[in-house]
Amino acid sequence: MIDTIHAVLRSLMPFEWAEHRFMIHALLAVAFLAPCCAALGVQVVNFRMAFFSDAISHSAFTGVVIGYLLVPVFEATWPGAAAWNRILPPATVVLFGVAVGAGITAVRRKTDLASDTVIGVFFATVIAMGIAVISHLHLRADFERYLYGSLIGAAPSDVAVAIIAAFVVLLFLALNFNPLLLIGLNESLARSRDIRTRAMDHAFSLLVALVVTVSLPSVGLLLVTAMLVVPAAAARNIARSAGGMLVWAVLIGWASGVGGLIGSFYADTAAGAAIILVAASIFVLSLSVGRLPRASARG
């Protein structure tokens, strides 16, 4: 399948970057992952959850530590250290990130503390846990991949994960976009319309945690929040409706992902950083576009 796609893309795009198989893998991954993050980012912006996604991404640090600590345990039962080194850290990153997301949402719902306070407590705790274990055991592991990301190292399995994540997000938003929008605007009104706000809040938080954690190997924990927030923020400056904001966010996310990846090839820079810089440039342009209707109205 990948060979066929590679051959088709090479015939359609006779460019230098398209000659490389790793670029095709990266292109396929980012073409699904970037719009997926941008679409989810619309509700992240509406719910003011940027700090939440940042806490989830930083929980990956401790998730990787847990994965490497479990390698000897699994190896003792099922020998094969190399295999467990590849499987366990990515798995524990996702599981730990989802658990942290569920914990933040549960505590936020059960206390009178402000959301940013609860998130700050979890953020500090998970980072401290990882640092404590690393310093005690003098652990040496491949943390840089999760810190900075490696989109050009995407494998066919990463492409498959990106496609599945995009499908799940698309299905969830297709079924729940309007209820989520109403919850973000007025939760009491949403409850009066028989919307299960608590269940919806938990489901959305878990989905954000899942998408953030599966995006980490490609983008890195330092930039994954920007993939959620920046395209959605630019779309908010341009769009005149909630549906329009979703469409613009997806388009900006896709353009940033593909444009940043190709630009990073020629500029010889990190793909994740290039993607965010393209998205940030579009955001700056959107500030001017967003002023045009108001300027003409005053005229």
pLDDT at 57 over 80: yes
Closest CA relative to residue 137, chosen from 80, 65, 197, 209: 65
Supply φ then ψ for residue 41, to 5 degrees. -65, -25
- Residue % of the chain over a pLDDT of 70: 91
Whether residue 231 contacts residue 252, with contact meaning beta carbons closer than 8 Å, is answered with: yes
- Residue 174: both structure tokens together: 């297709």
pLDDT computed for residue 299 by the predictor: 43
Percent of the chain with pLDDT over 90: 24
pLDDT at 292 over 80: no
Mean per-residue pLDDT, 260-269: 90
Query: Residue 6: what pLDDT?
Result: 64
pTM for the predicted model, two decimal places: 0.84
pLDDT in tens, 229-243: 999 999 999 988 888
Q: With bands split at pLDDT 50, 70 and 90, how would you rate the model's confidence at 293?
A: low
CB 222 within 8 A of CB 248: no
183-231 confidence digits (pLDDT tens): 888 888 888 888 888 888 889 988 998 888 888 888 887 788 899 999 9
Q: What is the C-alpha to C-alpha distance for residues 94 and 67, in angstroms, rounded to an integer?
A: 10
**In contact, 234 and 279? CB cutoff 8 Å:** yes
> Tell me: the pLDDT tens digits for 17-42?
777 788 888 888 899 999 999 999 99
The CATH topology of domain 2-290 is ABC transporter involved in vitamin B12 uptake, BtuC (1.10.3470)
Mean pLDDT of 240-258: 92
Give the start-to-end residue ranges of the domains of the chain: 2-290
Give pLDDT, residue 295: 44
Question: Among 261, 258, 238, which Cα is nearest to 248's?
Answer: 238
Q: Which amino acid is at 235?
A: A
Determine the Cα–Cα distance for residues 286 and 246; give it in Å rounded to an integer: 15
Q: What is the DSSP string of 59-112?
A: HHHHHHHHHHHHHHHHHHHS--HHHHHHHHHHHHHHHHHHHHHHHHHHHHHHSS
Question: What pLDDT score was predicted for residue 35?
Answer: 92
- Burial of 256 by CB count in 10 Å (0-12 exposed, 13-18 middle, 19+ buried)? buried
Secondary structure class of 164 (helix, strand, coil): helix
In this prediction, residue 281 carries a pLDDT of: 95
For residue 212, give every residue at least 6 positions away whose Cβ sits within 8 Å of its Cβ, in sequence order, or none: 53, 56, 57, 97, 224, 225, 228
- In one-letter notation, the amino acid at residue 17 is W
Instruction: Tell me whether residue 203 is exposed, middle or buried, using C-beta atoms within 10 angstroms of its C-beta: 0 to 12, 13 to 18, 19 or more.
Output: middle
Q: What span, in angstroms and rounded, lies between the C-alpha atoms of 276 and 17?
A: 20
CB 70 within 8 A of CB 85: no
> pLDDT value at position 270?
85
Q: What is the pLDDT of residues 91-117, one digit of tens each?
A: 888 899 899 999 998 898 888 888 889
Question: Tokens 């940033």 label which residue?
Answer: 256
pLDDT recorded at residue 24: 83
Higher confidence at residue 249 or residue 289?
249
Q: Residue 297: its pLDDT value, please?
A: 42
- Residue that is written with structure tokens 């989830």 in the block: 56
Mean pLDDT, rounded, for 140-157 = 74
Residues 160-176: what's their mean pLDDT?
90
Which tops the pLDDT comparison, 153 or 10? 153
The two three-digit tokens of residue 206, written as one number? 């878990």
